[in-house]
Structure 1
Amino acid sequence: MALQIINEINKFVTFRFDDTKNRVVNIRTNRDIEVDEFLDIQYILDCNKIRYSFEKNFEIQILS
């Protein structure tokens, strides 16, 4: 995934990109989740045609 997209994701408060697992991880508990941020990240991935799947705890696994 492009460094520009990773930097964009890492600007969010409740999510970070973990390059060792190739996934966007939720750094807060489910109670403190920012759904708008989650949807914004989904939009970023969709616009850049990056394949992904949703995982537990509002995490996103990057497939490509």
Structure 2
Amino acid sequence: MAQQIINEINKFITFKFDNKKNRVVNIKTAKELEVDEFLDIQYILDCNKIRYKFEKGFEIQILN
């Protein structure tokens, strides 16, 4: 995945990109979760045609 996209994802408060696991991880608890951020990240991935799947705990596994 391009560094520019990773940088965009890492600007969010609730989510960060984990290079080792190649996934977007939720760093907050379920009560603190920002659903709008989750949807924004999904939009970023869709616009950049990045394949992904949703995991438990509002994490996103990158498939590319």
Return the TM-score normalized by structure 2: 0.99
Aligned to 1:11: 11
Greater fraction of residues in helix: 1
User: How many residue pairs end up in the alignment?
Assistant: 64
1:35 and 2:16 correspond: no
Aligned to 2:58: 58
| Deviation of the 1:60 alpha carbon | 0.1
Letter in 1 for 2:21: K
Distance in 1 between residues matched to 2:56 and 2:22, nearest whole Å: 15
| Deviation of the 1:48 alpha carbon | 0.1
CA deviation digits over 1:16-45, x for unaligned, max 9?
000000000000011110000000000000
Identity of aligned residues (%): 80
| Regions of 4+ moved over 3 Å | none
RMSD: 0.3
The answer for unaligned runs of 5 or more in structure 2 is none
Distance in 2 between residues matched to 1:30 and 1:61, nearest whole Å: 18
